């Protein structure tokens, strides 16, 4: 059986997608459910969580212009009150 690629692979995340991901706890069940719902791979969802809770990844990649995934994660972290890792 061939593996099916995630339909949204390589597409930019919307702010709503990032907000949804960060509204749920980072566990394997949520990662799998989000991957199916958003048309992403579980690995991609896991990377969003890793960036969110990593001090180094977010701090070194944030540009502050709001267009890339790092800026969207930083914005979502502030609004969700996530204080683990780097606080933009």
Taking the model in full, what pTM does it have? Answer: 0.85
Task: Kindly state the tokens that stand for 25.
Answer: 């706890």
Please give the pLDDT value at position 2.
Answer: 45
31 neighbors 42 (Cβ within 8 angstroms)? yes
Give a three-class secondary structure readout of the chain: CCCCCCCCCCCCCCHHHHHHHHCCCCCHHHHHHHHHHHCCCHHHHHHHHHHHHCHHHHHHHCCCCCCCHHHHHHHHHHHHCCCCCCCC
For residues 3 and 78, the model is more confident at: 78
**pLDDT by residue (tens digit) across 41-79?**
999 999 999 999 998 888 888 887 777 999 999 999 999
Measured at the CA of 14, the angle between CA 43 and CA 44, to 5 degrees, comes to 5
């Amino acid at each position: 059986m061939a593996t099916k690629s995630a339909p949204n692979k390589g597409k930019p995340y919307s702010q709503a997608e990032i907000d949804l991901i960060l509204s749920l706890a980072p566990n394997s069940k949520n990662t799998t459910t989000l991957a199916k719902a958003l048309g992403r791979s579980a690995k991609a969802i896991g990377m969003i969580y890793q960036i969110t809770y990593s001090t180094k990844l977010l701090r070194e990649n944030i540009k502050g212009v709001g267009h890339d995934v790092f800026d969207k994660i930083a914005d979502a972290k502030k609004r969700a009150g996530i204080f683990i890792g780097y606080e933009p």
